[in-house]
């Protein structure tokens, strides 16, 4: 099986269904052979995700990893398999690789262990699906060899630019085609193994957008370097690949998306944004100086004002959020780079690569998107139910209670029930306002999270309340 960096055996919150029925089987009698790409430990949670009463965010989702009685390292089923494999030492962080795992069913007490550059998350309760790695089964010849693809494409493009020297527009579209398919088949495939259908559907629109870049900027810049092919090639290829491999080169920069929730929630994101803004501002001031020298400043200021007005109008559309994707930023900024200077040459190459990085990796997402699409697995702000006071929970009954559905007001979701997660597994869905923990037949503590439900779909879940079999209930924060 080809696994992506986020492949796991358990889905988010209640997505596996009641008692996890949608994510079965929980155990298997035969091992599962798998292959992972490189650098999966750098793929992290984009939002806080509950694991018991913890809320890890912006780290690889690896739960457990302690050695059990059989000598194997046990991981909770919702752990990212490839990150867990690196944690266990089964695959190499920089080369990926192959391995085999066993689905081992229910396990309990997943300890936090730091190994191979990853600190796993602890969970001191039971989970229905776990897996271990067969550390003796390591495949050969399945390392991630993307580095060789980079070198080959750079070499071949240099050969085209220096030796063959085709017409400028032919060379331009050679860059576009090589960059697009390199991204989808070598650098950042959308799926593992790479597929043709999705990228092929975006390829023709990508060529159209690239032609826009050619028309508004590149055709004015490249002729100035006709007698300097070496300089043109170094600047163009260097910055083109820097833009195309933007997510690879800047993978360690703690800023995943230009949305407010990421900027305020991710450690280091605000600092990174400030540094980026300062650098862009310095470059922009220099470009304004160039535009002013050629007497085109009023026209470009008017263009910028119209663009700012459009962005303001789009950001005001209700139930949506503004999302400035890579390709949108590239198409906007390249309009200001149509001048025969070395910096404009570098800007055009970088923005062309950035455009390809955006559409090649994610396609043509809209500049405004539904709030749910932007939030993803984050918090929607749907309102939270609440458990009754701890005094209503006793050792004799072990019945946890919560408040009834709120009064529906105009414009609000018509909630018709509740969903209860016990130890991150959906154990109840329906209109009742209580649940009996004795049905689980395990004398230990339980992590309880509750959400409103409408037609089987859940709203936001509460933080975890902790219930003990001695009759103690620690309320949700």
- pLDDT, tens digit, for every residue of 79-110? 999 999 999 999 988 888 899 999 999 998 89
Residue 444 pLDDT exceeds 80: no
Mean pLDDT of 351-380: 78
Mean pLDDT of 429-448: 83
Helices 326-333 and 197-213 cross at an angle (nearest 10°) of: 20
Mean pLDDT of 141-163: 83
Give residue 129's pLDDT band: very low, low, confident or very high (50, 70, 90): very high
Residue 473 pLDDT exceeds 90: no
Better pLDDT: 136 or 303: 303
Give residue 368's pLDDT band: very low, low, confident or very high (50, 70, 90): confident
Phi, psi (degrees; rounded to nearest 5) at 262: -70, -40
Distances (CA, A) of 467 to 110, 204, 422, 444, 447: 19, 57, 10, 8, 7
Instruction: Tell me the average pLDDT of the chain.
Output: 87
- pLDDT, tens digit, for every residue of 370-386? 766 666 655 666 788 99
Give residue 66's pLDDT band: very low, low, confident or very high (50, 70, 90): very high
Mean pLDDT of 152-177: 90
- Does domain 18-139 bear CATH number 1.10.3720.10? no
> Given the structure tokens 């100086």, which residue do they identify?
289
- Give the span between the Cα atoms of 398 and 389, in whole angstroms: 14
For position 175, what pLDDT does the model report?
93
Which residues 6+ apart lie within 8 Å of 237 measured at CB? 154, 157, 158, 161, 349
> Given the structure tokens 């016990």, which residue do they identify?
422
pTM of the model: 0.84
Fold of the domain built from segment(s) 390-474: Immunoglobulin-like (2.60.40)
- In the chain, where the domains are located: 18-139, 145-373, 390-474
For position 451, what pLDDT does the model report?
93
pLDDT > 90 fraction of the chain, expressed in percent and rounded = 45
Mean pLDDT of 416-442: 88
Number of alpha helices (DSSP H) and beta strands (DSSP E) in the chain: 13, 19
- Give the span between the Cα atoms of 237 and 244, in whole angstroms: 10
pLDDT > 70 fraction of the chain, expressed in percent and rounded = 94
Alpha helices in 296-362 (DSSP H): 297-315, 326-333, 342-362
Is the omega angle on the peptide bond into residue 25 within 30 degrees of 0, that is, cis? yes
Structure tokens at 366: 């809209």
For position 374, what pLDDT does the model report?
62
Better pLDDT: 394 or 360: 360
For position 422, what pLDDT does the model report?
93
Give residue 330's pLDDT band: very low, low, confident or very high (50, 70, 90): very high
Name the most confidently modeled range: 71-75, 411-415, 438-442: 71-75
Give residue 392's pLDDT band: very low, low, confident or very high (50, 70, 90): confident
Residue 319 pLDDT exceeds 80: no
Strand ranges for 91-143 from DSSP E:
97-103, 107-110, 114-115, 118-119, 123-127, 130-133
Give residue 367's pLDDT band: very low, low, confident or very high (50, 70, 90): confident
Cβ distance 95 to 82 under 8 Å? no
DSSP helix/strand/coil, 9: coil
**What is the CA 329 to chain-centroid distance, rounded?**
19
- Give the span between the Cα atoms of 302 and 204, in whole angstroms: 31
CA angle 435, 386, 374 (to 5 degrees): 110
Helices 342-362 and 168-182 cross at an angle (nearest 10°) of: 40
For position 316, what pLDDT does the model report?
82
Give residue 58's pLDDT band: very low, low, confident or very high (50, 70, 90): confident
- Mean pLDDT is lowest, of 20-34, 54-68, 189-203, 289-303, for 189-203
Residue 208, H or E segment: helix 197-213
Q: Which of 195, 96, 208, 198 is nearest to 143 (CA)?
A: 96
- Give the span between the Cα atoms of 285 and 44, in whole angstroms: 35
- Give the span between the Cα atoms of 451 and 462, in whole angstroms: 6
Alpha helices in 53-194 (DSSP H): 81-88, 146-159, 168-182
For position 472, what pLDDT does the model report?
84
Residue 240, H or E segment: helix 229-244
Cβ distance 293 to 359 under 8 Å? no
For position 471, what pLDDT does the model report?
78
């Amino acid at each position: 099986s080809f696994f992506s960096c986020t492949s796991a055996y358990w889905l988010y919150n209640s997505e596996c269904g009641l008692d996890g029925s949608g994510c079965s089987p929980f155990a298997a009698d035969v091992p599962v052979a798998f292959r992972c790409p490189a650098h999966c430990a750098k793929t992290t949670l984009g939002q806080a995700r509950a694991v018991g009463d913890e809320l890890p965010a912006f780290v690889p989702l690896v739960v457990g990893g302690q050695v059990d009685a059989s000598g194997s390292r046990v991981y909770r089923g919702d752990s990212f398999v490839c990150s867990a494999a690196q944690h266990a030492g089964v695959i190499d962080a920089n080369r990926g690789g192959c391995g085999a795992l066993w689905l081992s069913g229910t396990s309990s007490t997943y300890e936090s262990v730091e190994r191979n550059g990853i600190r796993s998350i602890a969970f001191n309760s039971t989970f229905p699906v776990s897996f271990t790695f067969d550390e003796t089964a390591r495949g050969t010849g399945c390392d991630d060899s993307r580095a060789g693809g980079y070198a080959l494409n750079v070499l071949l493009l240099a050969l085209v630019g220096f030796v063959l020297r085709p017409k400028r527009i032919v060379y331009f579209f050679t860059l576009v085609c090589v960059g697009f398919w390199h991204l989808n088949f070598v650098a950042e495939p959308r799926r593992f193994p790479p597929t043709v259908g999705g990228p092929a559907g975006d390829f023709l629109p990508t060529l159209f957008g690239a032609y826009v870049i050619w028309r508004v900027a590149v055709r004015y810049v490249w002729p100035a370097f006709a007698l300097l092919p070496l300089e043109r090639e170094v600047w163009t290829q260097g910055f083109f690949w820097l833009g195309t491999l933007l997510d690879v080169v800047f993978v360690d920069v703690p800023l995943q998306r230009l949305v407010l929730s990421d900027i305020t929630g991710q450690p280091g994101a605000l600092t990174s944004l400030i540094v980026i803004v300062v650098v862009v501002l310095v470059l922009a001031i220099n470009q304004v100086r160039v535009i002013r020298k050629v007497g085109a400043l009023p026209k470009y200021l008017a263009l910028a004002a119209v663009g700012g007005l459009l962005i303001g109008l789009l950001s005001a559309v209700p139930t949506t959020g503004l999302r400035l994707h890579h390709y949108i930023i590239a198409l906007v900024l390249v309009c200001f780079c149509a001048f025969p200077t070395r910096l404009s040459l570098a800007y055009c190459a970088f923005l062309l690569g950035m455009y390809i990085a955006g559409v090649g990796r994610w396609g043509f997402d809209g500049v405004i998107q539904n709030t749910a699409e932007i939030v993803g697995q984050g918090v929607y702000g749907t309102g939270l139910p609440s458990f009754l006071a701890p005094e209503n929970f006793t050792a004799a009954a072990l019945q946890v209670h919560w408040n009834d559905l709120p009064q529906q007001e105009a414009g609000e979701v018509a909630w018709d029930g509740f969903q209860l997660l016990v130890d991150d597994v959906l154990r109840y869905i329906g209109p009742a306002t209580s649940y009996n923990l004795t049905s689980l037949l395990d004398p230990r503590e339980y992590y309880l999270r509750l959400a409103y439900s409408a037609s089987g779909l859940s709203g936001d879940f509460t933080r975890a309340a902790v219930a003990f079999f001695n009759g103690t209930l620690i309320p949700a924060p």
